């Protein structure tokens, strides 16, 4: 399958967002703005925490970056190997699927593992979406790095919640992504497990030189990252009094 057509860029960045906008029609006929992001950059290999309250557009922003929803306008430039840049927002849904499978990792608040597959099987399945042959040795290495080398053949139901989330982290790194997106990845964990999962995620991202973007309401989690950004500073739709716009814009 032919990949997206890239453009050139010299800046040492992994992700550049430019003029992202997403609106939904409200029942009263007005337009509800959920994303209004003029600009945001994530450095190559940088680990950043986006902090925001519930309803501030955290998940919507990650879904947009991952190509899981259509924007009204804007660019999402992802730098991949050899300095090539792909504007995810301009791609068709099928081509976004290719980019997401090859270059992005995603860690959800809950693990979203397939119950019929073992820990190893879930990681290998994550590799299958690139069209490449699954690398069993790499999958086993990742599970070993998250402390589950003795749980390779356990199904999720036989693992603790913390262990399940570790499998999810390993799966997100399965394809050596350029960027890992994490949506409240420690929200369902106690403090000790949360710290361990975050440390493992950061360690694996450093191993493959992936940038990491975590959205969270937990400031203690965000404070452990290289940079912390208030979501309301970059998403104007999250600011008080800015969420409603006229129906015709």
Q: What is the pLDDT of residue 30?
A: 82
How buried is 44 (Cβ within 10 angstroms: 0-12 exposed, 13-18 middle, 19+ buried)? middle
Helix H or strand E encompassing 169: helix 161-172
Encoded tokens for 201: 């995620």
Higher pLDDT, 84 or 240: 84
Q: Each residue of 211-232: pLDDT tens digit?
A: 999 999 888 889 999 999 999 9
Q: What is the pLDDT of residue 248?
A: 34
Please report, for the domain that includes residue 171, its CATH number. 3.40.50.300
Q: Would you say residue 8 has pLDDT above 50? A: no
Q: What is the pLDDT of residue 244?
A: 44
- Residue 72: left (phi > 0), alpha (psi -120 to 50), or beta? alpha
Residue 210 lies in a domain: yes
Distance (Å, rounded) from C-alpha 140 to C-alpha 123?
A: 9
The angle subtended at Cα 32 by Cα 27 and Cα 33, nearest 5°, is 165
Q: Each residue of 143-201: pLDDT tens digit?
A: 999 999 999 999 999 999 999 999 999 999 999 999 999 999 988 888 888 999 999 99
**Do residues 208 and 177 make contact, with C-beta atoms less than 8 angstroms apart?**
yes
Lookup result for tokens 């840049």: 85
Helix H or strand E encompassing 21: strand 13-25
Q: How many domains does the chain have?
A: 1
Distance (Å, rounded) from C-alpha 169 to C-alpha 214?
A: 13
Give the domain range for residue 116.
7-245
Distance (Å, rounded) from C-alpha 121 to C-alpha 162?
A: 18
Residue 2 lies in a domain: no
Residue 168 lies in a domain: yes
Residue 131 lies in a domain: yes
Q: Would you say residue 75 has pLDDT above 60? A: yes
Q: Are strands 7-8 and 84-87 parallel, antiparallel or unpaired?
A: antiparallel
Helix H or strand E encompassing 208: helix 191-208
> Sorting pLDDT into bands at 50, 70 and 90, what band is 2?
very low
pTM for this entry: 0.88
Q: Would you say residue 246 has pLDDT above 60? A: no
CA 30 from chain center: how many Å? 30
Residue 155 lies in a domain: yes
Residue 1 lies in a domain: no
Q: Each residue of 96-146: pLDDT tens digit?
A: 999 999 999 999 888 889 999 999 999 999 888 776 788 999 999 999 999
């Amino acid at each position: 399958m032919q990949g997206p057509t890239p453009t050139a860029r010299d800046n040492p960045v992994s992700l550049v967002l430019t003029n992202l906008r997403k609106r939904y029609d409200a029942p009263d006929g007005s337009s509800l703005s959920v994303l209004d992001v003029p600009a945001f950059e994530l450095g190559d290999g940088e680990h950043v925490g986006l902090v925001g309250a519930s309803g501030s557009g955290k998940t919507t922003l990650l879904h947009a970056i991952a190509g899981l929803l259509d924007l009204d306008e804007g660019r999402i430039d992802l730098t991949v190997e050899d300095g090539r840049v792909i504007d995810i927002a301009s791609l068709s849904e099928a081509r976004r699927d290719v980019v997401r499978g090859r270059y992005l990792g995603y860690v959800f608040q809950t693990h979203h593992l397939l119950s019929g597959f073992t820990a190893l099987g879930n990681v290998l399945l994550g590799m299958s979406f690139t069209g490449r042959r699954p690398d069993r040795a790499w999958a086993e290495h990742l599970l070993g790095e998250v402390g589950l080398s003795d749980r390779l053949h356990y199904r999720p139901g036989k693992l603790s919640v913390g262990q399940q989330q570790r499998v999810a982290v390993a799966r997100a790194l399965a394809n050596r992504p350029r960027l890992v997106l994490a949506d409240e990845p420690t929200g369902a964990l106690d403090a000790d497990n949360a710290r361990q999962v975050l440390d493992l995620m950061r360690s694996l991202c450093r191993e493959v030189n992936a940038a990491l973007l975590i959205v969270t309401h937990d400031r203690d989690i965000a404070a452990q990252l290289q940079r912390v950004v208030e979501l309301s500073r970059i998403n104007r739709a999250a600011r008080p009094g800015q969420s409603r716009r006229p129906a015709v814009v």
